[in-house]
Copies of this chain bind each other. A is one copy, B any other.
Amino acid sequence: MLDASRVAATLQEALDDWDRLAPSLRALAASLDAGDVEGEPLDPSALLSPLPRAYEWVDGSAYLNHVRLVRRARGAAPPPTLETDPLVYQGGSGILLGPTDDVPLPDPAWGLDFEGEVCVVLGDVRQGTRVAEAARCVRLLCLANDLTYRNLVPAELEKGFGFFQSKPATAFSPFAATPDELGPAFRDGRVHLRLAVRWNGKQVGDLDAGADMHFSFLDLVQHLAKTRGFTAGTILGGGTVSNAGQGRGFSCIAEQRAQELVDGGAPRTRFMLPGDTIEIEMRDGAGRNLFGTIAQRVVAP
């Protein structure tokens, strides 16, 4: 690694002034890659989330298979506009968990679930931005573990104001990458790579994050920007990655339980408990771990 603090003290500062600062950051990275300068060793387990606190964290739900399965599990119908009008919710962004932070679980009855997601970090987005301009707003990509207390969801959504207590702090991958690092795997506003999810050391999901993303990140940006603008540093999630059909596994327990409910009349898989581990990562065709690994353990506080 190279210390970039003489270019920008924080990632937020770089995002705030991206056009001016990004060339210097790229030059630093190039000098390290070329061996022109000697880097320092990096311990990924010491890294925080790329933005340990962000000005906004907005999460879409662009993989419709997830929406259909999870709503079926709680006896709620998907909205009639499911395929034409993106579902997004405003998440809490003031405290974001680091990639290896413990996940505190004050009450196992809350039904802690993980959700493996792909995210983009946006530059400034003006109100009224359309799909065609949205690609220019994507500064970085990363992964998220959008933790959810499933058993708090039904009563909370019943109140009509969306998620609040049912969404504890979200965790992010140790690295965020510029789109060029993904090459053609990032196209049409989607990341066409596999998301690996390991729960207690066992791979439970090997999901294609591209094909089944019904609304692209560009569609989501247009949806977000209909009535307001967004500051640089806004994190936008694509929602729990989910593939229609069977065989690729799951990136959240709720889907597995929903499938069990459909197949056998009752969910069999439990939610997370203290001691459980969850790992989420994404590799490219060359096997590079693009964003590092989210690797968390659930603990009783």
Contact = CB atoms under 8 A, between A and B. Distances in A.
Interface in A196-237: 223-224, 226-231, 233-234
Contacts of A228: 92, 95, 167-169
Contact of A161 (B89, B95, B169, B233): B89
A54 interface: yes
A226 B106 CA distance: 9
A4 interface: no
Total copies of this chain within the assembly: 2
Contacts of A162: 89-90, 160-163
Contacts of A85: 159
A157 B161 CA distance: 7
A99 interface: no
A79 B159 contact: yes
A87 B53 CA distance: 24
A164 B90 contact: yes
A94 B230 contact: yes
Interface in A137-165: 149, 152, 155, 157-165
B79 A158 contact: yes
Number of contact residues on A: which range applies?
Answer: 35 or more
A76 interface: yes
B223 A160 contact: no
A89 to B, nearest CB: 4
A5 interface: no
A238 interface: no
Interface in A53-99: 53-56, 58, 61, 76, 79, 81, 85, 87-95
Contact of A90 (B92, B158, B223, B231): B92
A90 B55 CA distance: 12
Contact of A165 (B93, B168, B169, B226): B226
Contacts of A155: 81
A193 B169 CA distance: 35
Nearest to A229: B95
A267 interface: no
Contacts of A53: 55, 231
Given A55-B54, A93-B56, A227 B88 contact: no
Contact of A160 (B76, B230, B301): B76
A237 to B, nearest CB: 13
Contact of A227 (B54, B94, B110, B233): B110
A161 B160 contact: no
Given A53-B55, A94-B234, A149-B227, 13 more contacts: A55-B55, A56-B93, A58-B92, A81-B159, A89-B164, A90-B92, A94-B230, A95-B230, A106-B128, A127-B168, A152-B227, A162-B162, A169-B229
12 contacts: A76-B160, A79-B158, A79-B159, A89-B161, A89-B162, A89-B164, A95-B229, A95-B231, A128-B301, A164-B224, A167-B228, A168-B228
